[in-house]
Structure 1
Amino acid sequence: MKLARRLQAIKPSATLALNARAKALAAQGVDVVVLAAGEPDFDTPDFVKQAAIDAMKGGFTKYTATSGIPELREAIRQKLEKDNALKFAADQILVTAGGKQGLYNTFQALLDEGDEVIVFAPYWVSYPDMVHLAGGRPVIIPTREEDGFAPDPEAIRRALTPRTRAIILNSPANPTGAVYSRATLERIADAVRGHDCLIVSDDMYEKLLYEGQFLNLGNVAPDLIPRLVVSNGLSKSYAMTGWRIGYVAGPKPLIAAMTMVQDQSTSNASSIAQKAAVAALQGPSDTISAMVAEYKARRDLFVNGLNALEGVRCRMPEGAFYALADVRGLAQRRYKGAPVGDSMRISEILLDDFRVAAVPGDPFGAPGYVRMSFVTSREVLRKGLARLGEFVAALS
């Protein structure tokens, strides 16, 4: 069957594929340590569930406005002002079916064929493909672990061209867990100030912070707020991945265009989930605090365990719930008589022979690295470290 040419540049999500394979093995009774998921293992808070139950019992099960119910957009507006010191009007906010749809709509509304978007590597796997699907061209700028994965402002200046329509920031970041400091954000702002590109800030992990302070670029460069697009959602902070509620705030013309895109694709996000989201944003934050404290303990346990393995090195992430481990020290060693090779091969060996699901770094623009998440119990993390130790011990 002849398919659209634009799909030729798209690759299936490595994380989703690996998760699916690990779950299939688990369904067969295989004991797999799954370290590939980007999904909290905590349950959605009870008061959020109750709001959804009340919405269903009250008959709130019909279509809503594509942009979202007024009370949710108002709750998002208040959240952005209170938590982030960013002021947006209600008509500058669009509610989406998850954070991914918000970003997808952004590029669909913004890009023409051949337009460019600057992406820092390592990056979330979906950024380049979303740009490709909109007809754009991702321009990848590598960052270095020794710099804390902070981008080089001179590299940004060199990458900017008349076709640059946007630059994507993600802090805390997937897959590195890096958090941009005020100084880093100021340097990025200085680099883009003379260009008219938009700044797309993916703040999905803002609440999952273990070190430092969360800052949006708009906090350090208020003059750039008219060009700022904030993408966020409730999936990670409130353990609401399956509820599919995200949101985007930005310039009014762009939000209006994105709403048109959503009008002709999915229309509104779930009415029931929107009511639950209102409760989440207006309710207590103690569940977030407890979740972050537990993630921090898991982070310390897991990353310290990784650094104890010969040939493995892992930077301590300041946020999110991922450990991006440098496994280049294993590449030249041999397993069953053959060279271990790249991180893709390492991930295959780990799943096939040691029953550990870990995502290779290549799809994230991080060859030689493996991404593992610590959104599972400490017991499972210890089991995973033990199996990783067995793998390293089996190398010659």
Structure 2
Amino acid sequence: MQNVILKKSNKQISGTVNLTGSKSECNRALVIEALSNGKVKVENVSDAADAVLLAGILRSAVGSDQLAAVHGPSTIDHGPQTVDIGPAGTAMRFLTAYFAIQDNEVILTGSQRMKERPIGILVDALRELGAHIDYEEKERYPPIKLKGSFGQQTSKISIKGNISSQYITALLLIAARLPFGLELHIEGELTSRPYVEMTLAMLETAGIQHQWLDNVISITNQEFTTTSIHVEPDWSAASYWYAIAALADQADLFLTGLTPYSLQGDSVITEIMANFGITSQFKDGGVQLIRENKPFSHKIFDLKECPDLAQTIIVVCAALGHEAAFTGLETLKIKETDRILALQTELAKMGVKLIENNEVYQLDCSGKFIPDRMFINTYHDHRMAMAFAPLALIIPQLEFENGPVVDKSYPAFWTDLAKLGFEVQEVEG
């Protein structure tokens, strides 16, 4: 396994970055494509490992020569299928719903960490709808066996809003294919609302209409229309360049393809990073980031609707010594790793504490110091590697465990850093 040593000889950054397609958008678009019986085509498919994996699995499941030509070779064998999605959490949730309404029998499994990430809430909802699903090992966790022969029992189901929005999205994606449609009641406050809105907007692009009244989302049985879905560049990937700009003395970065009118909730990074003196100017088919000196005043960040930005923002605050507070981090403990614990462990290496008090997290930078070297454990989590990479602007040498972990969402990350003046060295781990 290759580690990566990262250095930056100065604190100036300038240049142009071409970002891959959004993993979040692409995964939704691929499932819509598979459900549309060839009517919907996906453009600008992300090269993120999760998206490539999902595309291959769906190509095999659909059995379409055209999908094979677009998305590459199959990743699974035909016949009785065991589908191993590795660490791809989105694929696990989306494929659970997708295969629940197919005729063939499938066993969905994944990495050891995936077997520790709960799936029970989604399985309960699908069973209530009429799916036949069994647990193969531990109750309420993958691997699961989906037996096919779906027969809808009801169109009305309820699901808690403060759990992963991917459960809700998985159900919405298949709703138009259900004989009686779907009336989804969301209980309590909805976490990560922008991700649900993204799903509905992409379904609408494909001709699927919905109603959203109060806490109820309704989608009738209906046909997809012939169209194409263009996947936007990834705002989550853009967030790491915003962090780099925030820690630089001078920054002039241009990120291609991004617009101010994005379906992605993580585009809110433009507003959040304005607190750190980063100005976003949309022009010439992208966004230019300019670093300006500005006093920091924002002390509480509510990240309920953009939890994937949490690591990025918390690390920037820690690096600058801003003792900010954070809310809306409840879902971070069931991601690729327990991201709260991972942040606490790694930030401690520079003397910073992240303290939890009744779902409010406070940074304590009173013991902060700048080490000459720092080893970053990534915990098989792509966002841990990329969120800590900007620290190369203030710490002389960083070493990252398992550099290829970034392939999950941003395979060109280390290459792009090298192009913009970072020294990137691969070493044996």
Say yes or no: TM over 0.5. no
- 1 or 2, which has the higher strand percentage? 2
TM-score normalised per structure 2: 0.28
